[in-house]
Amino acid sequence: MRRRLTADEPSPRSVFLDVPNMPWEATKFPGIRCKTLFSDAGGMATLLLEMEPGAEVPLHEHTAIEQTYVLKGHFVDEEGECLPGQFVWRPAGNTHIAWAGKEGATILGIFLRPNIFADGRPFFTEERG
């Protein structure tokens, strides 16, 4: 076991995920499924999201940075659009609606909880212990 460089203890182990064989999880948003790749008590989350054509993430505000990489399809909000291989990040306080284009979208999203939704629905909004 490798030792840490900055402390006299073992290095924490890497966590490998077999993402293609992970099941898709339903979300509270019609037409959107996800695979949670990482989530911690501090609020960080990394999700693989699959959006059907026209599926929408309703009006919400990010309390910290959100980062999105588009793997396939067309991911849009009021300020612009991303195609496969493109990336968008939004600063804390950014308030938007996001949706998939007519071919749907698969995206990798990295963000910090909580997100605040205008309609009050929870989706990675509650603090987790």
pLDDT tens readout for residues 12-32: 999 999 999 999 999 889 999
| Cβ-contact 129, 117 below 8 angstroms | no
Q: How many residues does the chain have?
A: 129
pLDDT of residue 125: 46
In a domain, 5, yes or no: no
123 vs 52: CA distance, rounded Å:
18
Token pair of 67, please?
């980062």
- pLDDT tens-digit series, residues 40-58: 988 899 999 999 999 999 9
The count of structural domains within the chain is: 1
CATH number of the domain enclosing 70: 2.60.120.10
Which of 98, 89, 86, 91 lies closest to 123 in space, CA to CA?
98
Cα separation, 22 vs 5, in Å, equals: 34
